[in-house]
Structure 1
Amino acid sequence: MSSSSGPLNEELQCSICLDVFTDPVTTPCGHNFCRTCLNNCWTNTQTCCCPFCKESFSRRPDFKINTSLREVVQHFKKKLKRGRSEVFCDFCDGRKQKAVKSCLTCPSSYCETHLEPHHRVPRLKKHKLINVVENLEDYICQKHERPLELFCRDDQTCVCLSCTEGDHRTHNTVPIEEESRQKKVRV
């Protein structure tokens, strides 16, 4: 599974192997890694330190599988496989090709050929591309028809930029990626 599978994949990615976690373990500083990756990193070394933040540990920590994170990763992998096999390009005529990306701005899913303008045309380069999803409407604000890019911590829900100018004006909102990172550290 490559690291180009979108933002969620990046949140579930080991910073050593750059792939989705396999048997994730958590260091005392709260960072997560694949068990094998961290074992390999600490083999033949006197001092153990976190590969991400470089915090040193007085002794080599015992590893326990982070079962909550492992379940999230397994769910993500299943959903990713299902989504990839069932989502087709919205623009193919005749025989539909499998979609490789979904655009929240358009909102449409594209095969490699029809996605090409999003990589070339300056205006389209600014669009929010995500990993292919089956229910694209779940990622778009139903009220404003804009991408859900923020998380409202007060209401514990995803919101679009327009929402922050209205009902969520005084609320604590952060980018979804930031909230996802925070929740991953807490897991």
Structure 2
Amino acid sequence: FSSTEDCSKYRFDTEEPASVTGQGLLCKRKLSAEDDVLLHIVLSGDEQKKVDTGRCRMITDLIDPGDLECSLCIRLFYEPVTTPCGHTFCLKCLERCLDHNPSCPLCKEDLSEYLAQRQYCKTILMEDIISKYLPAELTDRQKVYEEEIAELSNLNKNVPIFVCTMAFPTVPCPLHIFEPCYRLMIRRCMETGTKQFGMCLSDPAKGFADYGCMLEIRNVELFADGCSVVDTIGRRRFRVIQHSQRDGYNTADIEYLEDIKVAGDAETELRMLHDVVYDQALDWVNSLQAEQKQRIESHFGPMPEKDLEPQGSPNGPSWCWWLLAVLPLEGRAQLSFLALTSLKDRLTGIRRVLVLMSRSHST
């Protein structure tokens, strides 16, 4: 009992006086179904705290932190979850394993239904034991986790890179995620709160191209088998400073690109070029067959309106990127436009492509 009040709930034998042992009171309780007598030591509040503290220290001395380690990361359980087959792992560790195989990492029991439900409830008892008896180890474990999250949240160093297709600022880019490494990457982007990763074309020599576009996750639709459809949209452009890898997916140290602004006569000339090329682009889009135009707009949306201020965005007019996404250009040609920091050069290049498209269409 934790207090004398708890002891009062039971009937005591008053014929025999209770013996006092030390500062505690020895109480006897009569059991209705058995003749056995259960003895309890009832202490005052301060005395009980001393006993609890001593008992806690004794249990702490008996507990080996190694007994409460995750068998996957070999570290103290953090956010422990228990599978239907009775095995306990760190939540993040279990998720990574289920990315590769929907079975228990220890006993290999099928966890397909468990994966489909995605009800990873924390094992409260395990959390309570660790927090009560291993507070110092838990603090160290939490510090390691927070350091990992801070590192993953950096959008300049070790930025996750999805090597797949071209992406452009302001242009939607839906993705089907099924590879285990990219499942992990998307989950980390969501957990850290950045909801961003880089998209680059593949490169046979370096692994991925030197230029790319950051994508922002707008929605993730998960399927029962762990795959997902991720709705993203292009944000900032970047140049890769260093190529690297982390946990099976590519990463990079990057620097962001912005268009170089011009003023005076150069700005006036740029505005005129901007208006002319926009009109040419609109004519080309309107010349497309209705079915072809509908397919483009269902995937990329309608062509954006002409920007009132061509230099208002660090990436330039959004309609330029929309057009580059729908023009029948190979990836390397699109990549050269993405890397440009001169709006004039980008507009001039688009104009040349439109002229070629018009000529081929007329013939």
TM norm structure 1: 0.36
Q: Name whichever structure is richer in helix by fraction.
A: 2
Structure with greater strand percent = 2
